[in-house]
Structure formats: C-alpha cells, structure tokens
Amino acid sequence: MAKRLIFIVSFLLLAGTVKVFAQKSFDTKQPERLFEEAMTHFDNGRFGIARMLFEECAANISENQFVLQSDATYYAALSASNLQNDDAAYLLEKYANDYPQSNHLSYVYFRLGELSYDEEKFRNAIKWYNKVKVQDLDNDDLVRYNFKSGYARFMEGNYDDALKYLEKARHENSQWQSSANYYYAHIIYEKGNFHLIIVDCACFSISGKSRNKR
C-alpha cells in the first residue's frame, strides 16, 4: 500500500513538472507568435490592433530576447505614428534613446521629422531630418525625404540648402516632382537667375514629352 502511494505521489509530481515545463515552453514562444500576428496586421494597415499586439509582445519578452524586444517596441511606436496618436513622437524619441544602436534609427528620425513637418514645425523637422542616414531609406522614402527636407528649409528661408534637396526631388518621377519643380523655380527666381528657369522649363517640357511617348 505504501509503495503504491509513493508511486502515485511520484507520478503526480512528475506530471506537474512536465506541465510546468510545457507551460514555460509555450510562454517563451508566445511573444514570437504575437509579433508575427502583429506584423500581419501592420502590413495590412491595421495599425490600431498592430500597436496593441506589439505592446503586448514587448511586455511579455524575456531579457535575453533583445532583438525581438527592440523590434516590437519599434513597430509599436511606428504604428502610433501611422495613426498620428498623440504619444507617437514621445514613443519614437524614447525608442531612439533606449536603442541607440538600432538599425531602425534613420527611419525613426525620418518619421519624427515628418510628424513635425505635418504640424508645420519646420525647424524641428529639419533637426530630425539632419539625423537621417539617407542610405538607410528606400527609394520612395528618399524622394519624400528630399522634398520635405527641401520644403522645410524653404519655409525657414534657408534657400541655398533647400535647393540641394529640391534639386534631387525634382528629378525623380514621383508625386513630389511638380511641387519640387515649383519651389525650386521660385527660389531661382528670387535669386534673379531667370535664364536658369527658362532652360529648366524647356528641359522638363522635352523630358515630359519623352515620358508620354513611352
């Protein structure tokens, strides 16, 4: 009887140990599953639920999962910025301070610049744009960066620097091209270089016709 009792107790203890181990194993995998689910929502533009899941993921990550912690925190902040949440700038700045070695930093600074740009705080936008490493941006973001950097400097009266960025943006076939040409020509006019405007208009007229034939 005693042996049978010892066996039952031992079995229950072993079963309990296996259950705890299985639960811990599940818990350590849970953040990865949450992150994948959050990324699916993020990629499909569902930034509200994506932010919630990224934050839940970040809150349940162990200390040795540093990369996942960084990525979850980054995408939570990015989701907030895409939603234009009131705390978006705070979250992005906090991320930059907490993860100074992150390979996401250039895009964080870019988004901080855009948030300031959208609020017409152009001097602050320039401050953030100056921190961006342009080689880290993809082509679409780079064109947007060049135009907005140029326009912000134009609005701050820094025409020489504005020309450098607008010059790049106006040569890219994008939604920013016509605006970049307009402000570029405006600066050239203000500087009294009228002959450059005539030459530029002729060149863009020719290139425009060429593009239309393709």
pLDDT digits (tens, 9 = 90+) for 147-206: 999 999 999 999 999 999 999 999 999 999 999 999 999 999 888 766 555 545 544 443
Residue 162 contacts residue 183 (beta carbons within 8 Å): yes
What phi and psi, each to the nearest 5 degrees, are found at residue 104? -95, -5
pLDDT at residue 190, rounded to an integer: 86
Predicted pLDDT of residue 197: 54
Domain boundaries, the chain: 19-102
Alpha carbon of 38 to those of 25, 53, 54: distances in Å?
21, 5, 6
Is the full-model pTM beyond 0.85? no
Query: Mean of the per-residue pLDDT values for the chain?
Result: 83
Residues composing the chain: 214
pLDDT for the residue numbered 134? 96
Percent of the chain residues topping a pLDDT of 70: 76
- 126-129 — which CB contacts under 8 Å span 24+ positions? 126/152, 126/153, 126/156
Ordered DSSP codes for 156-192: TT-HHHHHHHHHHHTTS-STTHHHHHHHHHHHHHHTT
Question: How many angstroms separate the CA atoms of 58 and 34, rounded?
Answer: 9
